[in-house]
């Protein structure tokens, strides 16, 4: 009986490794970047990859007005991921490969050698295998001490404050290099607690920023006036943060997915109302291809849960203090129809050189209106 048991165990493992447990012979294609990286692998060397399973959860059946929509969305996503993992989880267990669940995209991240990558790409439940690439953190330019905060006055934010619109009772999340908790203009507005800070790399248990960029952008959003001038658009708002960039200045794509996933349910209990109202991401994909849909699924999930996502328009305009053209830009914030929009595609309103974000047709577009409309985080446009 022992000999037969050993034979059955060995046969089962062989079936898993050879594809005998697979439901069909359809193979997922490796991304071009991953294919190139595999060709350079040394024997026994492993690559960090993201594995996406086919048939993601259908969260469209959760009504946007449902009071428990976030709980239902989280439950659907986690259940679907467990179902999708199936024999892939067995394969990883047999090969001793640890994984990180990315249920927000119905996938996982794992380090795999060439043999495991080949087995994953041939598995019928796997839709795609891509390189878990890294992107550099954005740079930051510090102004001179005591410089007047002209941007706040230019958009007439003080007029909104006088009307009682200052972001009060709104929580804004920063996905960036972190936030300096001891900055005098930000210390008092941190929401506080374990559900207000997430470092997927485990480098810092409390808010920290080795770069300064995340502190800068959070200050623009809801910084105070302890330095003698008002630096934030919505000083009444609270902030929470995800440190997607390591102290060395780089972020992995899987860590960014983990960040979006955490923001959907910060304390692990979808019944508690601790998710942010909106998420700010002032970063780009650096050395990766300009048109990317890597995070469109994450953004769609957050949008369905009632969490707005905002991305920087870019700092690459033709003149100082200008952005890129409204007619040529990267639309990484489109949760439903991710695409690269160029001059021959719309919809656009080309009326001036002052681009802003507006929500139309279920996604965000950058338009150039005659009249600027600026609002604090969480406030509705008139």
pLDDT at site 262: 98
Q: Is residue 259 domain-shared with residue 168, that is, in the same domain?
A: yes
Q: Flag whether pLDDT at 326 surpasses 90.
A: no
Task: Report the chain's terminal Cα–Cα distance, integer Å.
Answer: 77
pLDDT at 22 over 60: no
Last residue of a domain, one of 78, 111, 132: 132
Pairing of strands 329-331, 339-341: antiparallel
CATH of the domain at 147: 3.40.50.200
Q: Give one DSSP letter per residue of 191-232, joined into a string.
A: --SGGGEE-TT-S-SS--BSSSHHHHHHHHHH--STTSS---
Does one domain contain both 91 and 150? no
Same domain, 282 and 161: yes
Q: Are 153 and 183 in the same domain?
A: yes
Same domain, 200 and 246: yes
pLDDT on residue 321:
65
For the cut 90, the answer to whether the pLDDT of residue 167 exceeds it is yes
Is beta strand 238-243 parallel, antiparallel or unpaired with respect to 171-176? parallel
Closest alpha carbon to 78 in 273, 267, 261: 261
Q: Which domain holds residue 119?
A: 11-132
3-state SS of 251-295 is: EEHHHHHHHHHHHHCCCCCCCCCCCCCEEEECCCCCCCCCCCCCC
> Percent of the chain, pLDDT > 90?
54
40 inside domain: yes
At 302-312, the pLDDT tens digits run: 999 999 999 88
Among 80, 103, 132, give the residue marking a domain's end.
Answer: 132
Residue 2 CB contacts under 8 Å (≥ 6 apart), including other chains: none
Same domain, 49 and 181: no
Domain assignment of residue 97, yes or no? yes
Answer with the one of 132, 166, 191 that is the final residue of a domain. 132
To the nearest 10 degrees (0 to 180), the angle between helices 69-94 and 296-304 is: 140
Lowest mean pLDDT across 56-65, 109-118, 262-271: 56-65
- Is pTM beyond 0.85? Reply is no
pLDDT digits (tens, 9 = 90+) for 341-379: 433 222 222 233 333 333 333 333 333 333 334 444 444
Does residue 233 fall inside a structural domain? yes
- Average pLDDT of 154-176? 91
pLDDT, residue 374, reads 41
The domain total for the chain is: 2
Instruction: State the pLDDT at residue 107.
Output: 96
| Angle in degrees, CA 174, 175, 176, rounded to 5 | 105
3-state SS, residue 28: coil
Q: What is the CATH number of the domain that holds 21?
A: 3.30.70.80
């Amino acid at each position: 009986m022992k000999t037969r048991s050993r034979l059955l165990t060995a046969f089962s493992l062989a079936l898993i490794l050879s594809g005998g447990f697979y439901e069909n012979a359809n193979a997922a294609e490796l991304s071009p970047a991953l294919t190139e990286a595999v060709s350079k692998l040394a024997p026994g060397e492993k690559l960090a990859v993201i594995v996406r399973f086919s048939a993601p959860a259908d969260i469209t059946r959760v009504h946007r007005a449902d009071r428990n929509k976030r709980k239902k969305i989280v439950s659907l996503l986690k259940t679907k991921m467990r179902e999708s993992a199936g024999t892939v989880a067995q394969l990883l267990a047999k090969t001793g490969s640890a994984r990180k669940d990315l249920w927000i995209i119905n996938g996982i991240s794992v380090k795999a050698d060439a043999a495991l990558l080949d087995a994953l790409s041939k598995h019928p439940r796997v839709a795609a295998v891509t390189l878990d690439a890294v992107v550099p953190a954005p740079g930051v330019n510090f102004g001179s001490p005591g410089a007047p905060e002209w941007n706040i006055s230019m958009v007439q934010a003080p007029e909104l404050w006088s009307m009682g619109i200052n972001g009060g009772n709104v929580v804004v999340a920063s996905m960036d290099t972190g936030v300096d908790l001891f900055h005098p203009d930000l210390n008092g507005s941190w929401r506080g607690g374990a559900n207000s800070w997430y470092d997927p790399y485990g480098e810092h248990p409390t808010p920290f920023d080795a770069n300064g960029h995340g502190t800068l952008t959070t200050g623009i959003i809801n910084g105070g006036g302890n330095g003698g001038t008002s630096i934030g658009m919505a000083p009444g708002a609270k902030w929470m943060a995800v440190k997607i960039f390591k102290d060395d200045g780089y972020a992995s794509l899987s860590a960014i997915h983990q960040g979006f996933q955490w923001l959907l349910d910060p304390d692990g209990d979808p019944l508690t109302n601790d998710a942010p109202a909106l998420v700010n991401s002032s970063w780009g994909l650096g050395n990766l291809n300009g048109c990317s849909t890597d995070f469109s699924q994450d953004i769609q999930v957050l949008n369905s849960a009632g969490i707005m996502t905002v991305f920087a328009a870019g700092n690459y305009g033709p003149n100082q203090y200008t952005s890129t053209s409204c007619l040529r830009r990267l639309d990484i914030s489109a949760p439903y129809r991710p695409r690269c929009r160029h001059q021959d595609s719309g919809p656009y309103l080309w009326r001036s050189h002052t681009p802003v974000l507006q929500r139309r047709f279920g996604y965000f577009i950058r338009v150039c209106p005659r009249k600027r409309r600026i609002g604090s985080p969480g406030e509705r446009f008139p």
